[in-house]
Copies of this chain bind each other. A is one copy, B any other.
């Protein structure tokens, strides 16, 4: 395989000139450009990206840190990020943090050594000290890390308000809110939206805090259904709504005739459930694609026009609610 010295020799210029040409940096005459381009083509020279990383201290890798790629929320984000990254010549490194701070810090350190060009981070850790000292562009997605780090998410408060209003409009008067973990930004925002919708209305509410896990949701709702009588559930994620559906099925409670359920996220899972889950859909593809574009702008040293972006959510009415009520 031809190397940069072969190109310089064939073009009759110095290695430094070829390097300036390849990195698009510094002065280079039109004639030199022409002969180098010709040599590159003739020798079928493919610049080693690693060698270029070393000289520019910048690679074309983007690190994506997510809690767990198996949660169906994240593959859809990852997919969008990868599509945009690839279009700009970047490739994606997948990192599952398992919501384990030490693992996350270790990943950040490792990728820094590999000269990653930037990070897109969906982290549950509010103590974001390991991101603060980094001299690498970062975009936070879904969860805010720090006011100094650009951030993109869904307007979760408004989304949850719309979802809860839909339960009210469909006749629910006795509603269980399965809120997400307290202290986690999106979960807190969605809970606030739920409260916005029920406030001042003659609605009985039951609040439980439930992590974004199917099995735990199923177990918690099974217990609730034995204790209280409810006619509606607002869940803070599609996965927990699916757990609630399974619990209702086991208890012989018909959805939506006896119990209506609204989820949150708009993942593929929501559409693949039977009956189809009514859900507040985040525009996951748009969110991932915008995060990737923002990060690439930062990598290229451009100023962002907006450092905080909130994308509206959209209610998708399917079969777990009776909109005609």
Cβ of A110 under 8 Å from chain B: yes
Chain B residues whose CB sits within 8 angstroms of the CB of A46 once the complex forms: 113
Q: Is the CB of A272 within 8 A of B242?
A: yes
**A211 interfacial by beta-carbon distance below 8 Å:** no
- In the complex, A49 Cα to B110 Cα: how many Å? 9
Q: Is A196 an interface residue (CB 8 A)?
A: no
Which residues of chain A in 250-277 are interfacial with respect to chain B, using CB atoms and an 8 Å cutoff? 268-269, 271-276
Q: Which residues of B contact A245 (CB under 8 A)?
A: 274
Question: Whole-angstrom distance from the CB of A53 to the nearest CB of chain B?
Answer: 5
- Chain copies in the assembled complex: 2
Stretch of A64-72, A123-131, A149-157, A170-178 contacting B (4+ beta carbons < 8 Å): A64-72
Q: Is B69 in contact with A72, judged by CB distance below 8 angstroms? A: no
Could you tell me if A93 and B96 are in contact, using CB atoms closer than 8 angstroms? no
Main secondary structure of the interface of A (DSSP, over half): helix
A75 within 8 A of B: yes
A293 at the interface (CB under 8 A from B): no
Q: Which of B53, B114, B239, B246 is A274 in contact with, Cβ under 8 Å?
A: B246
Residue A231 interfacial (CB < 8 Å): no
**A246 contacts which chain B residues (CB < 8 A)?**
272, 274, 276
Q: Do residues B70 and A69 form an inter-chain contact, with CB atoms below 8 A? A: no
A59 in contact (CB, < 8 A) = yes
Cα A47 to Cα B83 in complex, Å, equals 32
Contacts of A68 in B (CB 8 A): 79
Chain B residue numbers with a CB within 8 Å of A107 are 91
**A78 pairs with B69, CB closer than 8 A:** yes
Give a binary string over A80-114; 1 marks a CB under 8 Å from any B CB, 0 the rest.
00110000000111111000000000010011011
Flag if A50 contacts B94 (CB, 8 Å).
Answer: no
B268 in contact with A249 (CB, 8 Å):
no
Closest 3 interchain pairs by CB?
Answer: A94-B94, A69-B75, A242-B272
**Interface residues, chain A, with chain B CB atoms under 8 Å away:** 46-51, 53-54, 59-61, 64, 68-70, 72, 74-76, 78-79, 82-83, 91-96, 107, 110-111, 113-115, 214, 239, 242-243, 245-246, 249, 268-269, 271-276
